[in-house]
């Protein structure tokens, strides 16, 4: 008989309202100053949000900061270093922000900075307000969890596999927490935490998650 948790896992999705902050940057130093001072929701928008908007599409840069440095400033050294940073490696916006600042500071200490961005191609800081709502289905067994993952939208997958790390404050997901704490399947939770988030499509991430959940709890 399949194990059944007393606590349901509720699948959720999100909608994001984007607004401009009124702050812009034309140089790497101005970008650095903005990153240091804007809200956490702005950092989220330009890193996690950028990743979500181009959900796991095969691309060279995984943040707006890296993309602007490469395409507008044509500062390939800092762009490449920022590209090596993946948002899912950080358990908090604070640690992510600090790492981005360290990368830019190292570049600024190296010598002559690149020329300012042309007028009209400034970096405009935006921020997002996240609205979370139930997706309309939940799970109390492993089979139901697999079925929920099969039917989940891109935004639902992103919310539970990526954004959850920030809400929990450590490099794990709320799916993993439920598996370990509510269903008593820590070995499946460990498998889920080892997913490769640099896959070229949402469908590949979904298939990875389903494969990780094969077997008995």
For residue range 171-187, list pLDDT tens digits in order. 678 899 999 999 999 99
Nearest 10 degrees: Cα torsion 94, 181, 154, 170 = 10
For residue range 78-137, list pLDDT tens digits in order. 999 998 887 778 888 899 999 999 999 999 998 787 889 999 999 999 998 888 999 999
How far does CA 194 lie from the centroid of its chain? 15
How far does CA 3 lie from the centroid of its chain? 32
Q: How high does pLDDT run on average in the chain?
A: 87
Cα–Cα distance, 38 to 127 (Å, whole number): 9
Q: What residues contact 82, with CB distance under 8 A and at least 6 apart?
A: 61, 63, 65, 66, 69, 100, 103
Angstrom distances, CA of residue 113 to CA of 28, 78, 88, 185, 217 = 7, 10, 29, 52, 55
Q: What residues contact 111, with CB distance under 8 A and at least 6 apart?
A: none
pLDDT reading at 55 higher than 70: no
CB of 130 closer than 8 Å to CB of 201: no
Q: Please give the span between the terminal C-alpha atoms of the chain, in angstroms, as a whole number.
A: 11
pLDDT at res. 217: 59
Can you list the positions of beta strands (E) in the chain? 9-25, 123-139
Q: Provide φ and ψ at 15, rounded to 5°.
A: -130, 145
Give the dihedral sign, CA 50/54/58/60.
Answer: negative
pLDDT band at 62 (very low <50, low <70, confident <90, very high): confident
pLDDT reading at 197 higher than 80: no
């Amino acid at each position: 008989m399949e194990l059944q948790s007393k606590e349901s896992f509720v699948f959720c999705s999100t909608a994001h309202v984007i607004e401009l902050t009124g702050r812009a940057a034309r140089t790497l130093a101005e970008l650095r100053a903005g990153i240091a001072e804007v809200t956490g929701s702005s950092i989220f928008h330009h890193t996690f949000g950028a990743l979500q908007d181009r959900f796991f599409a095969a691309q060279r840069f995984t943040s707006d900061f890296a993309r602007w440095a490469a395409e507008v400033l044509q500062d390939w050294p800092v762009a490449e270093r920022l590209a090596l940073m993946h948002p899912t490696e950080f358990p908090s916006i604070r640690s992510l922000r600090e790492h981005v600042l360290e990368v830019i500071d190292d570049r600024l200490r190296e010598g002559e900075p690149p020329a300012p961005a042309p007028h009209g191609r400034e970096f405009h800081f935006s921020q997002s307000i996240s609205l979370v709502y139930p997706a309309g289905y939940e799970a109390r067994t492993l089979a139901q969890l697999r079925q929920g993952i099969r039917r989940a939208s891109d935004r639902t997958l992103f919310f539970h596999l990526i954004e959850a790390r920030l809400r929990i404050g450590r490099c794990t997901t709320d799916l993993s927490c439920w598996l370990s704490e509510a269903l008593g399947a820590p070995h499946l939770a460990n498998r889920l935490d080892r997913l490769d988030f640099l896959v070229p499509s949402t469908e590949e991430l979904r298939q990875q998650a389903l494969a990780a959940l094969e077997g008995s709890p």
